[in-house]
Amino acid sequence: MTLPTSFTISDDEFTALRELIHQRFGIHLGDGKKALVIGRLQKILRQGGFSGFSDYYRFVVEETSGQGLSDLVNAISTNHTYFFREADHFTIFSQEVLPRCLERHAQDRDLRIWCAGCSSGEEAYVLAMLILEGLGRDHARWNAGLLATDISQKALAVAEAGIYPDERVQQIPAPLRTRYWQRLDDERWQASEALRREITFRRFNLMNDRFPFRKPFDVIFCRNVMIYFDQDTRQRLVQRFHDHTTSGGHLFIGHSESLGRDRCPYRYLRPAMYIKD
């Protein structure tokens, strides 16, 4: 059998695939995303020897290891991120939110922060540097947990290695770069072992109905993730975040996102920043 060198998708095939992606990952692909789906899945279809999108769809839904679904979301999701993206959030975090958390936990010295939808890790490494800076010498006496999760195994592999090209690492202010990063060669840097140790990277689908966390979080960053979700999915997710936030804890979302003030369980504080009363 000769396989096509480039694949086309029928309306029915597109509908089936986008329903699957929505149901499993909450990602909403509008009618205009047909070309994106074709473009991003070409390689998978070619390498997998599929005869077309129907053949590929059947494989993904019938395959039991979950690898097919994982490859699908890796290809579809947008992992764009960079160090100190939407930098004002990090200023507020280190100057206001973190000091308040440290006060609140002065007795138990137990701090919980979740970077949900961390992509290739840049956001989590910034938070980890700010936490280490905020705790200073007291760090050893604190149980400061930074959990960073994403659905994309590929993005998480980059995050866990903590290796980034020079031009990306140059976005980190020099004093922090010197303290927490090591040059590997002319082109790459790696997060120091001490910095990597601060973060637990895990694969986690935010669509899971149940969050398996025993303790509530003091701060949740979920920025530029919910833009891909429809209103209903977003609202249910925000409710689950709220259920897992401690009173007085914060939620940060992306600046281009909005939760709508009416049905939002958090109280709005500032653009893209909320608090649980």
Ligand X SMILES: C[S@@+](CC[C@H](N)C(=O)[O-])C[C@H]1O[C@@H](n2cnc3c(N)ncnc32)[C@H](O)[C@@H]1O
Amino acid letter, residue 240: R
Cα distance between residue 182 and residue 177, in whole Å: 8
H or E element, residue 195: helix 193-197
For residue 129, what are its two tokens?
């540097």
| DSSP state for residue 109 in the 8-state scheme | -
The stretch among 24-32, 34-42, 87-95, 160-168 that binds ligand X (CB under 6 A) is: 24-32
Q: Does residue 85 interact with ligand X by CB under 6 A? A: yes
Backbone angles phi, psi at 38, to 5 degrees: -60, -50
Do residues 74 and 158 touch, judged by C-beta distance below 8 A?
no
87-126 residues in contact with ligand X (CB under 6 A) are: 117-119, 123
Q: Does residue 233 interact with ligand X by CB under 6 A? A: no
Total site size for ligand X, rule CB under 6 A: 25
Choosing from 17, 26, 126, 130, the residue that interacts with ligand X (CB under 6 A) is: 26
| DSSP state for residue 2 in the 8-state scheme | P
Q: Can you tell me whether residue 106 is helix, strand or coil?
A: coil
Site track 142-161 with ligand X (rule: CB under 6 A), x = hit: --------xxx--x------
Site track 47-76 with ligand X (rule: CB under 6 A), x = hit: ------------------------------
Whichever of 91 and 178 has its CB closer to ligand X, that residue is: 91
Q: Does residue 244 interact with ligand X by CB under 6 A? A: no
* Smallest distance, ligand X to C-beta of residue 154, A: 9
| DSSP state for residue 263 in the 8-state scheme | S
| DSSP state for residue 51 in the 8-state scheme | S
**Contact residues for ligand X (CB under 6 A)?**
25-27, 77-81, 85, 117-119, 123, 150-152, 155, 205-207, 223-225, 228, 254
